[in-house]
Amino acid sequence: MSNETIPNLESYDDDSLAKAFSALENLAKDDASALGAEDFRLRWLGRKQGLLNDVSSRYLKAAPPAFKKSVGERFKVLKELVEGLLESASGAGPSDAALAAEAIDITLPGTRRLIGAEHPITKTLNEIVNVFAALGYSVGVGPEVETDFYNFESMNFPPGHPARDTQDTLVVANQERRSQRDRLLLRTHTSPVQMRTMEQQPPPVRIVIPGKVHRNDAQDATHSPIFHQVEGLCVDTNITFSDLKGTLDHAMKALFGSSVKTRFFPSFFPFTEPSADVQISCIFCGGKGCRKCKQSGWIELLGCGMVDPAVFAFAAEKQPAYDPKKISGFAFGMGVERIAMMKYGISEIGQFYAGDMRFLGQFA
């Protein structure tokens, strides 16, 4: 069969070789179209009766030494063609349909990768801190699990003081063997960092303290057992209440706009004397009176006061420079959630902690 199929090669010149191998290439292509993959493989690549074996014997092995190179090059091309035709016939390569399924339409928009954003509480907290940082205040941090001494006693809440009852403290269990001042609790305000800072640093001090605090409050629209505060402390010589008023008036204008007004009302905090509550003109109605401000035109926002000499006395135990006869200072504190709710028009504090991406995505 193979002897009849393979053309006779009468001469080894280029024309004769080109004519013979061209005929073989056309034959291979015709067979690939007409035969199945296995029949085509046996016909051309079979060990005993394969046409390529016959071509090798009749053309390559029989060629005079001077023509073996040219015959070998053409035989190599023919063999590669046969192997390529077999690969296509057996389906080893990807089909057009498979390639089309994997194709990418580069004109389509790319997959959008979601970019993270600050949580509204974090965003508001950073805004507050930045206002005071611009005034030269540094940032202080401290532990959330505090001792009774730093959380209460050093802040002029002696044991049995009725003001302790308003803090709704979460106390760590099984501490009966510890002394009162060493018992651990979840801090109810960031004020302990004021004392820790004064113990480590002599005056002057200008510091803001952002952080998370804990109280055993029932959850409702405006209360949460976990919330955030930013407190501030300024200690130096000749610090007056006028300095406090000017500082907070500037801060409120920086946070809510230059048209905001502030006013101060007498209040009570154990760690400041005198103490005051600070109100700002309603940012929703411009002070005219609305439902948000209960028709008063004012919204209470934070507490403040001049540092009580008793607090300086505790600090002086480790830093004698805090002599209340020589230095003075003021402190203030504000709730971050309350300010965030005002800035963004949020009526339910629980939305901050629900983890609802539909809500949080609005602040991205």
Domain boundaries, the chain: 2-102, 120-363
pLDDT digits (tens, 9 = 90+) for 134-153: 999 999 999 999 999 999 99
Query: Average pLDDT of the chain?
Result: 87
Between CA 123 and CA 117 the distance in angstroms is 9
Picking from 265, 275, 272, 264, the residue whose alpha carbon sits closest to that of residue 324 is 272
Give 262 or 3, the one with higher predicted confidence.
Answer: 262
* Cβ–Cβ < 8 Å for 206, 234: yes
Helix (H, G, I), strand (E, B) or coil at 9: coil
pLDDT value at 341 more than 50: yes
Binned at pLDDT 50, 70 and 90, residue 310 comes out as very high
DSSP code of residue 47: T
- The fold for domain 120-363 equals BirA Bifunctional Protein; domain 2 (3.30.930)
* Cβ–Cβ < 8 Å for 43, 52: no
Tokens of 340: 């965030």
Contacts of 97 (CB under 8 A, 6+ apart): none
pTM score, two decimals?
A: 0.66
Contacts of 325 (CB under 8 A, 6+ apart): none
Between CA 299 and CA 206 the distance in angstroms is 27
Between CA 302 and CA 306 the distance in angstroms is 14
